Amino acid sequence: MKVKIVPRSKVRVSRKSKSKYDKVKDAIGHLKSGGEALRVKFSDKKELNSIRNIAYAYNKEHNTKIRSSSNPNENTIFFYME
């Protein structure tokens, strides 16, 4: 039997369940270069990391450059596209 090895980058996994970050994903998709930034509130460091991972995954899937900047005093993170 022959086995063909496929790189992980070629395999796309889609989840059927809803994520509590679906609205963030949708809003990140509407960002425009030089346009307004997206402001998202978070409650703790773990949630901040989860929200950032959404942006990193979006950048990888769509080959974009969405940047982030956080304000830990107000527990907010801003996403923008250069």
User: What six digits make up the tokens of 72?
Assistant: 């830990």
Summarize pLDDT for 57-69 with one digit per residue, the tens: 999 999 999 999 9
Phi, psi of 4 (to 5 degrees): -100, 125
Residues 74/48, Cβ–Cβ less than 8 Å: no
Summarize pLDDT for 29-59 with one digit per residue, the tens: 999 998 999 999 999 999 999 999 999 999 9
Question: How far is it, in rounded angstroms, from Cα 68 to Cα 37?
Answer: 9
